[in-house]
Amino acid sequence: MPREHYHIFGPLYGFHDQFMELVERLGYDLSDPKVPVPPPGRTPVSLGGIVGPGEGSLKLLGLFMEWSRQGIAVVVPGEVEEKLFRYALGRLDRPEEELAGLWPELRRMGEKELAGFLAEYERFFASLPPFRVLGGELIAVHRALTPESLAQPLTMKTRQLCIGGAGTEEGKGSSGPTLEWVWEWNGVERVVCAGAPTRESRWVNRCIFLDGGAPWGGRIICLLYPELEMVTVETPRVRGDHELADFPQ
């Protein structure tokens, strides 16, 4: 049976123009620039972190929502997607802080337009699993995973571990990336995750982090699977100094 082929995108942080440059390099059909068409046999996968301080957050989010609606793409949510969901439910206390990168775009929407978007987004997010097993041999997740998570019924604790946020019920912020779990990973599957912003993406214990630190003058990353090749596009610095991690070592 032939292996499935994926384009796995790390966090995009709202960098729409750079993402379009990336998918053009990857051979997407840009006849309709609002909804590029992947090459035949390729499935786009988002590891979350779609929106952020880049200037095209809503365009990117709308694209992945449309791809998901058409059954074209796979999306697993990250912390920022979870915060936007809480905002849609009226459960985010400080949206101007928690959604800082996206907030200006949301504020420019009219009341009716915003209500319609949030209702659509609420349905979209509610349909997303905290992780996805792809082709039986690869796992896509935003933050972290344990082998036990795969064998147990889905719990809120597992969702929090995978997404990296505090969950929709508690409404609290996360305590930040906890990445040491890779050393305990003993599953046969490879795990591809956003993890945390790192200088170099490399495989450690069958796990890899694809957050290139785009807001800090880094890059957005696509991993081609099963080739295990990476294609990147550099991004401009839009946030203050942040030292990209060398983890894992």
Q: Could you give the CA distance from residue 216 to residue 235 in angstroms, rounded to a whole number?
A: 8
In this predicted model, what pLDDT tens digit does every residue of 120-130 receive, in sequence order?
999 999 999 99
Q: Could you give the CA distance from residue 226 to residue 229 in angstroms, rounded to a whole number?
A: 8
For residue 2, pLDDT beyond 60: no
The pairing of strands 42-46 and 74-75 is parallel
pTM for this one?
0.91
By percentage, how much of the chain surpasses pLDDT 90? 68
Dihedral of the CA atoms 183, 184, 189, 190 (nearest 10)? -20
For residue 185, pLDDT beyond 70: yes
Phi and psi at residue 60, to the nearest 5°: -65, -45
Token pair of 206, please? 């069958």
Average pLDDT across the chain, whole number? 88
In this predicted model, what pLDDT tens digit does every residue of 191-239 receive, in sequence order?
999 988 888 898 989 999 999 999 998 999 999 999 999 999 999 988 7
Q: Spell out the domains of the chain, with CATH numbers in brackets.
A: 5-234 (3.60.21.10)
Q: Could you give the CA distance from residue 90 to residue 231 in angstroms, rounded to a whole number?
A: 38
Q: How many CB atoms lie within 10 A of CB 67?
A: 20
pLDDT in the model for residue 167:
40
Q: Could you give the CA distance from residue 204 to residue 202 in angstroms, rounded to a whole number?
A: 6
